[in-house]
Structure 1
Amino acid sequence: MIHSSTVIAIAFIAATTYLTRILGYILLKNRTLTNKQRQIMEVVPGCVLISVIAPYFVKDNPADLLAMIITLIAASKFSLLPTVVISMLSAAVLRLVLV
């Protein structure tokens, strides 16, 4: 069973990631961005998400390591919301199966 603290942490991570995207656009709404700047704005939320879950790379838990790999693959193919959903589901399923 998933602990309530885990659900709260996931909600805060999702909110932080989403706010990163929104605040960037709000702060830069009156500026004209180049294509390169727009591309950077698109990847910032993903960087925030990865920085939050990156410490699991050093853990010995294979479920978390596999979930991280799945998340990285999803991030390279999908937008933010599907990536977050895929990462949460893969982590939950792999923890149930492998732990």
Structure 2
Amino acid sequence: MDSFLHTDMVLIILAGAVATFLTRIGGYVLITQMKTIPPRLEAALNAVPAAVLTTLVAPSFFTGGPDVQVAMAVALIASLRFSVLPMLAIGWCAVMLMRYAFGG
């Protein structure tokens, strides 16, 4: 267990925690100091969810096998019709069926 708690590892984790905290609290403080949010900033903030979703999904789609790609396409189509939980269930079933079919 002591091989896990090296000083360098603990310092890296603490530095990451501090950096995350400062960026989150800094954004909050900056926004609360503004009387109105400029239109360009509002547009940038509205784009954040799509950017985060893209950074989570795109690598899996391009590095995954055909089972992952087909399951993501099925989940995308399901998301156009259903809410989040049914879409997740459909996507999960699709990936399980594809893995069974492709032997993954």
By relative contact order (CA 8 Å, sep 6+), the higher-ranking structure is: 1
User: TM-score normalized by structure 1?
Assistant: 0.45
